Structure 1
């Protein structure tokens, strides 16, 4: 502690066990008795020879030091009414004295003569120094201590935990009450410095939950963070135990704090000194002493507790920031509005909260809509919202409705933006309801030193890296789902790939996947190590290696493609240096050679038109139909999903205009089938309203007539305006607002492919992240480049779009393909393009996203 009085030579002599008082006339054998008593407590517990557990040891040490200081104080005149008092801060102040922690003491006096103060201070400090007890000390008057607390953040935080030990209790009360009043009065101006100091401490000490040898006291998720919450609670900015129920993982903040404190207590006792870093050499003994298990079980317990504390302090800091009054011009603004994000989900004060009309008890899918909205916008979920959902939201029925699966895919396709909402769901018990299998891998430490993360965090990290590869595969939904559960079989005994494949069947059926997709998902988990092993442990040029891969994947090129992308995501999520250009080239070569032995699959044309649709088309009228959808891709019906069929005279731009009408009406397209007959376009769309119910059929028809008579430029302008409305301005705690964040984060580089059909027609494939009116924009881009769309199939899986457009006429030349690809890429969101791969440079029919400029969202 920084309480070193400049006027006191005795205090300036230092602290710790330097023995600087040797030979002083103030030395007392009582200090040696104190050390002997402490050593007996550490050895046997001094209670019938039984070893004290960690909490009992701390309580005994507090009693021991309180007794010694009270007796010593009375001996040297520190008594009630004496004008002196002894105040403890730190561990003794919190009644959490550890075996070898510093003794943090303040000798308060009521402006007494220096000689008298020096005599009393020497009489207390010197015996402790002589006994080699580490001592942080100061001698202050109350005004001096308050000035120090006002100037030094660390001193202020320490004094907030002050406790009277001996002497004049009223004098101690003046300090303790004064520090707390001063803290509450100054917290508005000091909050920024407090947050900056906290972040600096985290950078120095690291994250306890994912560190091999964590700093239990100063690391993120450690004891200092809980004490920080106490300081915020004293400042009346937040609750001391924010946002967690006792039955949540980690059993709540109090239990997590006590467990970390118990581990630190045993670390002191076993190492025989004040150590804050939990080292591997002590872990087994500490785990045995606390009856936790071996070092792996201890690491799992530490991770669990640290993540609970981290979640709590994040909520506390956020709540405190929102509680502070506005400053400057921001005080003149109107109260923050509640901006809609999804059905039943709004933004308020920079957090995702429930809409006033939301009823979680009747809306099982609300949890996933809240999480996906948080990931899409980058805003945290309100702790009150999480608590309400944990208390009232029912579990999703099995199989999940298509909407819930789609919201899960949106969440998983937002890259590393998903980490915070998934962690929040997990800490509050909601993620375990969605994924009951998660409990076996939660906080499970890795057995391999290459792994950076716990198993559960590794799974989420893998899904985050996989989201950047969704345009590289034909089934982005299965890629991110496979990434999320590829190691779900760990922690259960046996081969985790085999166990995980069985669990994948269970999970896939619960999510509502079709049987064929469940089988692919299971095989993806079963063989997720197939390509890395073949590439690094076998001869990749041996035809038998390639044949073994083809056999293992049952000749399914879609599965092999998914395995290649999963291998990359898994390696990147493992740790630094696991994925390299050398490994990437080996796996890419195996995937390419394996697919060459398999039969390619062309996009299938749509099903023939029904008799009703043919009759409407031949009538040459403009018609719109809306009905509840039965979506064959995922199975089942859902009252929130609708099929919209539009019929109108065919011509340039009809598809883009129809799709644009849906986007302007707030209907998000999940899939589309584009056909025609007798000079009419007959296009069917599976849509989900962003909010509420779809508009009336008559209103949609009038909008379609209006858009058909307008220009493509007018439609683009309207779509741009609609997209700007979906950007969520996140209020900052300053004098302005940050720019709006997009409704979806672009994670993967867009991709345009060309395939020649059996009749020589060109099929244009588009893979990209979604945006408002994307189907309309892409169709318009094809038409601007001179393409005539004969039929199309469009699918949106989560936030990933997979479209195929069949063009009339002969297969286009390279110049037209390049021009059309450029137009398409200008219409889709994306990241900077990837470098040209050596294997693709010579083939003009490869991916047209390479070397093209991508357009960011918004």
Structure 2
């Protein structure tokens, strides 16, 4: 885009020396010299790449220099090959006017921006079609390039072909736009360029702009439509290199700029903005070069496994509370954010220029719409703008006010005002942060009733958000290095605020029916929005972000204008924002002690309502597919049980009454089959009747009746449960030691994940085990082929027809890049979480064999598993078991607990997994 000076070019490749060596080989061996020439050129390519790599290692952020060096290397090779072919392979002493050839570098190569393994995109121009000498030379050049192992994108056209095809195809037009003379006939190149701009470009500027923006939007949608996805594509992702290149293409097409610096002369960027443009481009190019060098191929995806390596190559180091890779990715996202800001400013200037052109001609010449004024701001075409250049300097609180008015009035903030706010964001001082009016405006913006998410994102883009709330500025562009969170902390927070707003507007009733009711029942909606804003505010500080965040909330809430009651509520919500999900997903909700412990922390219905809403939007804002009906059901069950406990002031422990009520309800569901309750009900203990939902009990009784009438030794029933978003698998079999771990192994071998399990034994010695399962993408099994595979796999596992351990060990990880993350296994014991059971929680790297191995370890220690609750967080699994010893007692011996812990840690370790895979 700009000419980059390449120091000591001959250290990369010495064209004169290689040219002389080729001449010597030809003189000695004639046509037989080709293999040696290819070997000579391949050596030059390898040596040149090594030198470019060495320079990048020496200056890890020198993206432009690396790309320019690579382009220079390829330039010289193409020129050497061309000269050899036309001089030695197909010499023509007296060429006609039709026997001319020009070679043009196009695309990224045309910009002289080549990452180490980028394609070599070249266009051959000839005066006429079917010129035999030209065709022979082109073919010979291509074969040399292919023999060097280069991936070549090429075309061969006449100037007439070029004009016709460029008019028809946007990608060809864009590629030629960046054309650069490489070698051959310079006059033919000049003729082609003149015709391109005169016959293709002229008069089509507006169309080109709209087509490029449409192409850009489609590309963003393919890549996740956010510049904050945690595995970005450096080239094609939102805020990546392609976005910067699009600005250059538009500038070149409309203003004929010859370099990125010319965008300043064209009035499209200020000098300061261009420096930002150049910094972002340099950084992105360096990252892309490192990716190519690490992988040895044209790799543009900054995946988790590569992020750590690129951070190391670019000399990022760990800091307290933030790892090297998180610091590297934070800088990446800040650059991507800057690209977005520059894009808005750039396109606004283009729009203004087109508008001025239209106003100077045509029927509407001289006609302009009259702006209206809102609180001193000019509003025109649905965009609000500051009336003067010193508007914010006169009153810095206006930096918040302009966004608050935009949200309240449903307006866009004019790009020029966005640029002005960005420039003046430094005016936000401590005095402004303490200003009651500024804080009132901010709170109105945060709790706006139109679209606070969209406007807060603009607010963040300008940097004003981070200046006004410095704690938020600290998490700006901060990623969390795991496979669970899909977005940076600031983007996750803004999305969560947007979700709460949509829930309040009634747009998400189907997905969030409970939260849609609760938002209109809480005493303070302001507290709800502030809690969402602050729930992750202390991430990356090197401690428990919930505890640290509560301290931040106690400082910020009074500043924002919340009263003491609201402040206490927000601080509590931030402190305990993970409590509800941890309880719902990791604990047995039918155990009265679970509800007692939860309510002891919550203490009020108002807190419960707020916590339910915060939990829902927090989970959903993590990323696509994380929120599902199973999680909604569990949170709803916990909320209902806690609300009943809070309403009554005690847990309804009336065991006999609860069992009787459950049987009565089940009888109503079963209709004419209700006699089964009398036939088999006494075989099931009270614990079964209390633990299982009514509709599952009804299914179990029918299956049990059929199995006993047929005298089946094994009965497996699978049924899609729409309400839970999972498949219910019920196994009825003669109870025997190790049944649970074998069933778990069979289910995993069939490709399913267990998310919940309840294990029961009837008084007649039959096991009735209920499992809820999903596929690795969190979807239920419902196709006949899937159901048959589940049944067959469980049957084979229980009959010992397959070797579970080695086959499970060889199954791939649920996430292909999970090994990138350091997940150290951890075992926790809790004898307070339940009156009857010891609760064991195992955190470890998620893998198909994990549950089977953990369950086997529990079996080997003669522990009885009554229920299991399985949760995954990307690469990490949290498996929770409610257990007793063989006599039905809790495990309290410190020595025995240490032994169990050691066995579980061994079962969950990566070393053990590696041993099993080798076996």
Superposition TM-score, scaled by structure 2 size? 0.56
Distance 1:529 1:268, change over 3 A: same
Per the alignment, residue 270 of structure 1 pairs with: 294
What aligned pairs does 1:57-76 form with structure 2 within 5 A after superposition?
A: 57-76=66-85
Distance 1:26 1:128, change over 3 A: farther
Return the alpha-carbon distance in structure 1 between the equivalents of residues 56 and 463 of structure 2. Answer: 42
Are the counterparts in 2 of residues 268 and 274 from structure 1 also a CA contact under 8 Å?
yes
Q: Helix, strand or coil for the counterpart of 1:480?
A: helix
What aligned pairs does 1:96-245 form with structure 2 within 5 A after superposition?
A: 96-111=113-128, 114-181=131-198, 182-207=200-225, 209-236=227-254, 240=263
Q: Helix, strand or coil for the counterpart of 2:246?
A: helix
Q: Indicate whether 1:39 and 2:46 are aligned.
A: yes
Per the alignment, residue 751 of structure 1 pairs with: none
Q: Deviation at 1:304? A: 3.0
Return the alpha-carbon distance in structure 1 between the equivalents of residues 43 and 345 of structure 2. Answer: 44
Are the counterparts in 1 of residues 263 and 269 from structure 2 also a CA contact under 8 Å?
no
> What CA deviation, in whole Å up to 9, does each residue of 1:273-320 have, x standing for no partner?
222333333332222112235544444343333333234334444554
Are the counterparts in 2 of residues 216 and 260 from structure 1 also a CA contact under 8 Å?
yes
Are the counterparts in 2 of residues 504 and 525 from structure 1 also a CA contact under 8 Å?
yes
> What CA deviation, in whole Å up to 9, does each residue of 1:729-770 have, x standing for no partner?
xxxxxxxxxxxxxxxxxxxxxxxxxxxxxxxxxxxxxxxxxx
> What CA deviation, in whole Å up to 9, does each residue of 1:468-494 have, x standing for no partner?
344231101111011011111111111
Are the counterparts in 2 of residues 346 and 352 from structure 1 also a CA contact under 8 Å?
yes
> What CA deviation, in whole Å up to 9, does each residue of 1:610-664 have, x standing for no partner?
xxxxxxxxxxxxxxxxxxxxxxxxxxxxxxxxxxxxxxxxxxxxxxxxxxxxxxx
Q: Deviation at 1:26? A: 10
Distance 1:171 1:516, change over 3 A: same
Distance 1:377 1:120, change over 3 A: farther
Distance 1:344 1:38, change over 3 A: farther
Distance 1:169 1:266, change over 3 A: same
Could you tell me which runs of 5 or more consecutive residues in structure 1 were left unpaired when the two chains were aligned: 1-22, 600-858
Return the alpha-carbon distance in structure 1 between the equivalents of residues 297 and 168 of structure 2. Answer: 32
Per the alignment, residue 450 of structure 1 pairs with: 484
Distance 1:47 1:552, change over 3 A: closer
Q: Indicate whether 1:506 and 2:540 are aligned.
A: no
Return the alpha-carbon distance in structure 2 between the equivalents of residues 50 and 194 of structure 1. Answer: 35
Distance 1:594 1:369, change over 3 A: farther
Q: Deviation at 1:367? A: 1.8
Distance 1:381 1:292, change over 3 A: farther
Return the alpha-carbon distance in structure 2 between the equivalents of residues 48 and 387 of structure 1. Answer: 36
Moved more, 538-547 or 196-205: 538-547
Could you tell me which runs of 5 or more consecutive residues in structure 2 were left unpaired when the two chains were aligned: 1-29, 318-323, 505-518, 651-919
Return the alpha-carbon distance in structure 2 between the equivalents of residues 205 and 357 of structure 1. Answer: 37
Distance 1:50 1:583, change over 3 A: closer
Per the alignment, residue 568 of structure 1 pairs with: 616
Return the alpha-carbon distance in structure 2 between the equivalents of residues 287 and 432 of structure 1. Answer: 25
Per the alignment, residue 306 of structure 1 pairs with: 336
Per the alignment, residue 830 of structure 1 pairs with: none
Return the alpha-carbon distance in structure 1 between the equivalents of residues 331 and 591 of structure 2. Answer: 46
Distance 1:287 1:399, change over 3 A: closer
Moved more, 495-504 or 158-167: 158-167
Per the alignment, residue 675 of structure 1 pairs with: none
Q: Deviation at 1:177? A: 4.3
Per the alignment, residue 493 of structure 1 pairs with: 542
Return the alpha-carbon distance in structure 2 between the equivalents of residues 330 and 560 of structure 1. Answer: 63
What aligned pairs does 1:540-555 form with structure 2 within 5 A after superposition?
A: 540=589, 545=594, 548-549=597-598, 551-552=600-601, 555=603
Are the counterparts in 1 of residues 117 and 292 from structure 2 also a CA contact under 8 Å?
yes
Distance 1:246 1:189, change over 3 A: closer
Q: Deviation at 1:246? A: 9.2
Per the alignment, residue 712 of structure 1 pairs with: none
Distance 1:416 1:459, change over 3 A: farther
Q: Helix, strand or coil for the counterpart of 2:204?
A: helix
Return the alpha-carbon distance in structure 1 between the equivalents of residues 450 and 325 of structure 2. Answer: 30
> What CA deviation, in whole Å up to 9, does each residue of 1:150-175 have, x standing for no partner?
22100111111111122333432333
Where is the helix percentage greater, Structure 1 or Structure 2? 2
> What CA deviation, in whole Å up to 9, does each residue of 1:208-241 have, x standing for no partner?
6344543322232222221111111123379958
Are the counterparts in 1 of residues 105 and 122 from structure 2 also a CA contact under 8 Å?
yes
Return the alpha-carbon distance in structure 1 between the equivalents of residues 268 and 204 of structure 2. Answer: 26
Distance 1:378 1:583, change over 3 A: farther
Distance 1:229 1:45, change over 3 A: closer
Return the alpha-carbon distance in structure 2 between the equivalents of residues 571 and 49 of structure 1. Answer: 41
Per the alignment, residue 473 of structure 1 pairs with: 522
Are the counterparts in 1 of residues 546 and 574 from structure 2 also a CA contact under 8 Å?
yes
Are the counterparts in 1 of residues 428 and 464 from structure 2 also a CA contact under 8 Å?
no
Are the counterparts in 1 of residues 48 and 73 from structure 2 also a CA contact under 8 Å?
no
Q: Helix, strand or coil for the counterpart of 2:123?
A: strand
Q: Deviation at 1:94? A: 1.0
Return the alpha-carbon distance in structure 1 between the equivalents of residues 293 and 455 of structure 2. Answer: 38
Q: Deviation at 1:105? A: 1.1
Are the counterparts in 2 of residues 398 and 510 from structure 1 also a CA contact under 8 Å?
no
What aligned pairs does 1:789-828 form with structure 2 within 5 A after superposition?
A: none
Are the counterparts in 1 of residues 384 and 406 from structure 2 also a CA contact under 8 Å?
yes
Are the counterparts in 1 of residues 120 and 152 from structure 2 also a CA contact under 8 Å?
yes
Q: Helix, strand or coil for the counterpart of 2:183?
A: strand
Q: Deviation at 1:329? A: 9.7
Per the alignment, residue 586 of structure 1 pairs with: 637
Distance 1:45 1:385, change over 3 A: closer
Q: Helix, strand or coil for the counterpart of 1:252?
A: helix
Distance 1:389 1:196, change over 3 A: closer
Are the counterparts in 1 of residues 120 and 153 from structure 2 also a CA contact under 8 Å?
yes
Distance 1:315 1:496, change over 3 A: same
Per the alignment, residue 567 of structure 2 pairs with: 518
Return the alpha-carbon distance in structure 2 between the equivalents of residues 357 and 180 of structure 1. Answer: 37
Q: Indicate whether 1:94 and 2:111 are aligned.
A: yes
Q: Helix, strand or coil for the counterpart of 1:324?
A: helix
Are the counterparts in 1 of residues 205 and 253 from structure 2 also a CA contact under 8 Å?
yes
Q: Deviation at 1:335? A: 1.0
Per the alignment, residue 390 of structure 1 pairs with: 422
Return the alpha-carbon distance in structure 2 between the equivalents of residues 440 and 303 of structure 1. Answer: 13
Q: Helix, strand or coil for the counterpart of 2:108?
A: helix
> What CA deviation, in whole Å up to 9, does each residue of 1:175-199 have, x standing for no partner?
3344345425212234333333222
Are the counterparts in 1 of residues 212 and 246 from structure 2 also a CA contact under 8 Å?
no
Moved more, 418-427 or 46-55: 46-55
Q: Deviation at 1:542? A: 5.8
Q: Which has the higher contact order (CA 8 A, sep 6+)?
A: 1
Q: How many residues align?
A: 574
Distance 1:544 1:138, change over 3 A: closer
Superposition TM-score, scaled by structure 1 size? 0.60
Are the counterparts in 2 of residues 416 and 461 from structure 1 also a CA contact under 8 Å?
no
Distance 1:270 1:411, change over 3 A: same
Q: Deviation at 1:386? A: 1.8
Are the counterparts in 2 of residues 500 and 525 from structure 1 also a CA contact under 8 Å?
yes
Q: Deviation at 1:459? A: 1.0
Distance 1:33 1:59, change over 3 A: farther
Q: Indicate whether 1:407 and 2:441 are aligned.
A: yes
Are the counterparts in 2 of residues 244 and 253 from structure 1 also a CA contact under 8 Å?
no
What aligned pairs does 1:8-47 form with structure 2 within 5 A after superposition?
A: 27=34, 29-43=36-50, 45=52
Distance 1:48 1:520, change over 3 A: closer
Return the alpha-carbon distance in structure 2 between the equivalents of residues 380 and 39 of structure 1. Answer: 53
Distance 1:297 1:42, change over 3 A: farther
What aligned pairs does 1:368-383 form with structure 2 within 5 A after superposition?
A: 368-383=400-415
Are the counterparts in 2 of residues 232 and 240 from structure 1 also a CA contact under 8 Å?
no
Q: Indicate whether 1:533 and 2:533 are aligned.
A: no
Q: Helix, strand or coil for the counterpart of 1:465?
A: helix
> What CA deviation, in whole Å up to 9, does each residue of 1:122-174 have, x standing for no partner?
34222112222211122223333222222210011111111112233343233
Per the alignment, residue 281 of structure 1 pairs with: 305
